[in-house]
Structure 1
Amino acid sequence: MTPLGGNNLTVQPYQSFPSAENMWTVSFNNPASTSGSYTVYAVCLPVTQTG
């Protein structure tokens, strides 16, 4: 993962899940003392039944 601004922030995502009908939640652990920010995108696709 590369943080915005190109600093040396190292994070570990530990949660990524749909938290409501139109919302996605992502949580990170930041073991370093460096602060920064991320932008998270979720791409939703329609479900297509087969067979």
Structure 2
Amino acid sequence: MLALFFIYSICVLLAWFNQRRLSIGLFIFFFLATAFVFLHHLTDQLALQF
């Protein structure tokens, strides 16, 4: 969780220094990666089969 805090802090700092397009792209990428990892672990624990 601390790594996520640092990643999102970097995105905010990039946006602060006028790199908004890069910051938005990184934010979306890491947000989706985080969601996929959490969903992957959630489905592993629940033993769901699709």
Please report the TM-score for the alignment, with normalisation by the length of structure 2.
0.28
Between Structure 1 and Structure 2, which shows a larger proportion of helix residues? Answer: 2
Between Structure 1 and Structure 2, which shows a larger proportion of strand residues? Answer: 1
Highest RCO, 1 vs 2 (Cα 8 Å, sep ≥ 6): 1
Larger radius of gyration: 1
Please report the TM-score for the alignment, with normalisation by the length of structure 1.
0.27
